[in-house]
Structure 1
């Protein structure tokens, strides 16, 4: 990925690989802090996505699969925020001029949502985790993605 050539909310997205690495390898404090910074860069305010968001999503899905990652619940919440993002699309409906800008925010938003949807099969495994917080966050994300139950994902997970 040519990270220096794409933009996040701060400008150049070159720091994203370093943040992903800190999420993957850091202790709880380090990983949590890096995830917070990553959220600020790719899903600012919890609803504004940008050019670097879709490129980052596959890495987030990879991290959420790893049991040693300490902030998997936070990653699932971030993926849900990205899947819910419709700020640019909503704004463009009211102000079509936005669609003629050089930076195509609406398309970036759609690509980001598509990237989250593309790997929703990962939820199948997360719903069988022993950690109830992971299961709850996975269920919330599944609902956002249109998978209303674990049965929709082919899971054996029993709901309480």
Structure 2
């Protein structure tokens, strides 16, 4: 008899030095707990957890931080899990991150920003690249056996943003 190996969702969380990187509140140490809450699939706690996560990694829907790029692969992992109740909202968060140009735009007008000790422009660029790096997941989502209208819409919107 062959045992099927099951991978634990978000198994790689421990490989990221969360306390040493920044989110919009300071230390990103709370991000693993928020991601774990989303992975559990409990709708009542998922909404508030996603709201907190959004404020930490994509504040106001367009300001990313150092922890954003590190968080993105876990967001992609979550949208592939059918038990996650807020997958469409996670796709919208990924779209916001992909669209983020706050620091880049500001640095174009104020080049001194490129010399700031915190690499805001670099963090924003890394976050966008992290979203683009796994865009092939969108094809998998579009082929799901029982398509959900909200998921299909969010998937299509993110796909369009990544194609631009």
Residues 21 and 66 in structure 2, CA contact (< 8 A), matched pair in contact too: yes
Question: 2:14 matched to 1:2?
Answer: no
Of 70, 83, 103 in structure 2, the residue corresponding to residue 68 of structure 1 is: 83
Output the CA distance in 1 between the equivalents of 2:115 and 2:23: 20
Equivalent residue number for residue 153 of structure 2: 136
Equivalent residue number for residue 4 of structure 2: none
In the TM superposition, what are the counterparts of 1:41-52 in structure 2 within 5 Å? 41-52=56-67
Of 102, 105, 108 in structure 1, the residue corresponding to residue 117 of structure 2 is: 102
What does the per-residue CA deviation read over 1:90-114, in whole Å, with 9 as the maximum and x for residues that have no partner? 0000000100000000000000000
Residues 128 and 135 in structure 1, CA contact (< 8 A), matched pair in contact too: no
| TM, length-normalised to structure 2 | 0.88
Of 5, 10, 17 in structure 1, the residue corresponding to residue 32 of structure 2 is: 17
Output the CA distance in 2 between the equivalents of 1:78 and 1:32: 13
In structure 1, stretches of 5+ residues that fail to align are 148-160
Of 33, 39, 54 in structure 1, the residue corresponding to residue 54 of structure 2 is: 39
Question: RMSD of aligned C-alpha atoms?
Answer: 0.9
**Displacement of 1:128 after TM fit?**
2.2
Output the CA distance in 1 between the equivalents of 2:48 and 2:155: 22
Equivalent residue number for residue 91 of structure 1: 106
| TM, length-normalised to structure 1 | 0.90
Equivalent residue number for residue 156 of structure 1: none
Residues 9 and 50 in structure 1, CA contact (< 8 A), matched pair in contact too: yes
Residues 48 and 87 in structure 1, CA contact (< 8 A), matched pair in contact too: yes
In structure 2, stretches of 5+ residues that fail to align are 1-15
